[in-house]
């Protein structure tokens, strides 16, 4: 399979989400074609993004003229105008774009985008709210749900696991989680092994089923 990570990307819609995404991609060295129907927005970003165009992305001919069909990956970053979001996504499907990402603002919006052919759906506000809720309600330093029901948690090690080689704690069999990396105080993260001995002040990355990973982080 070809490596498509550095292929050019089309970003359609330059609100806060689309602009941040386009600028970050550009900063990472990815060629970006950014499209928005508002000339003022386009003018303000000119020179900061590889290619940028003021055009109506709900017009199939406009997308063809911009060469959107030649791109492997596209992101529909339109959020507030649901009709435009849905129409643009359907036009990208019609043009044969292989990898379509789309921003949704509600779960109903997400379901519609999935039905018409978007390959990946992002719910930025919902996902961030859910993540912050996990952090506010517990002792975790960070929380990322990698897939439904599976999470990566950044936390401090509970005292019962301090000073003991990880291989002797039987973490996986007893608690259903795995310490995958450890960051000693003042140092960088490194892979955890069976011989790793955790210390007070360490930060650990723990992977496992979401509930079990959260319970591990809550142990004192």
The tens digit of pLDDT for each residue in 170-207 reads 888 888 999 999 999 889 999 999 999 999 989 999 99
Predicted local confidence at residue 5, as pLDDT: 54
Taking only the tens of pLDDT, the chain with its 220 residues reads 444 556 899 999 999 899 999 999 999 889 999 999 999 999 999 889 989 999 999 999 999 999 999 999 999 999 788 999 999 999 999 999 999 999 998 889 999 999 999 999 988 877 777 767 767 766 788 888 877 788 899 999 988 899 999 999 988 888 899 999 999 988 999 999 999 999 998 999 999 998 898 888 887 6
Question: Does residue 145 sit in helix, strand or coil?
Answer: strand
Distance CA 146, CA 82 (A): 27
Predicted local confidence at residue 140, as pLDDT: 86
Which of 193, 182, 187, 191 lies closest to 156, judged by CA?
182
Kindly give, in sequence order, each residue whose CB lies less than 8 Å from that of residue 103, ignoring residues fewer than 6 positions away: 13, 17, 18, 75, 76, 77, 78, 79, 85, 121, 122, 123, 124
> Do the beta carbons of residue 209 and residue 149 sit within 8 Å?
yes
Residue 166 backbone dihedrals phi, psi, to 5 degrees: -55, -35
Predicted local confidence at residue 59, as pLDDT: 96
Predicted local confidence at residue 196, as pLDDT: 93
Predicted local confidence at residue 138, as pLDDT: 66
Task: Using alpha carbons, list the distances in angstroms from residue 202 to 154, 168, 191.
Answer: 11, 18, 13
Residue 104 backbone dihedrals phi, psi, to 5 degrees: -120, 150
Predicted local confidence at residue 174, as pLDDT: 86
Predicted local confidence at residue 143, as pLDDT: 86
Structure tokens at 36: 């928005």
């Amino acid at each position: 399979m070809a490596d498509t990570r550095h292929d050019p990307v089309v970003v359609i819609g330059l609100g806060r989400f689309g602009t941040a995404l386009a600028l970050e991609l550009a900063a990472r060295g990815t060629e970006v074609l950014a499209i928005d129907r508002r000339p003022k927005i386009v003018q303000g970003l000119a020179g900061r993004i590889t290619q940028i165009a003021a055009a109506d992305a709900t017009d199939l001919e406009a997308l063809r003229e911009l060469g959107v069909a030649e791109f492997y990956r596209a992101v529909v970053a339109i959020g507030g105008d649901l009709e435009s979001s849905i129409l643009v996504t359907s036009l990208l499907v019609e043009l044969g774009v292989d990898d379509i990402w789309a921003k949704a603002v509600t779960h109903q919006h997400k379901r519609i985008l999935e039905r018409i052919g978007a390959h990946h759906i992002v719910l930025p506000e919902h996902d961030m709210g859910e993540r912050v809720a996990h952090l506010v309600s517990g002792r975790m330093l960070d929380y990322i749900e990698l897939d439904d029901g599976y999470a990566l948690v950044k936390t401090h090690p509970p005292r019962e696991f301090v000073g003991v080689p990880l291989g002797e704690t039987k973490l996986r069999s007893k608690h259903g989680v795995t310490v995958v990396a450890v960051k000693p105080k003042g140092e960088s993260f490194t892979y955890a092994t069976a011989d790793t001995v955790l210390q007070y002040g360490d930060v650990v990355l723990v992977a496992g089923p979401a509930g079990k990973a959260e319970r591990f982080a809550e142990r004192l």
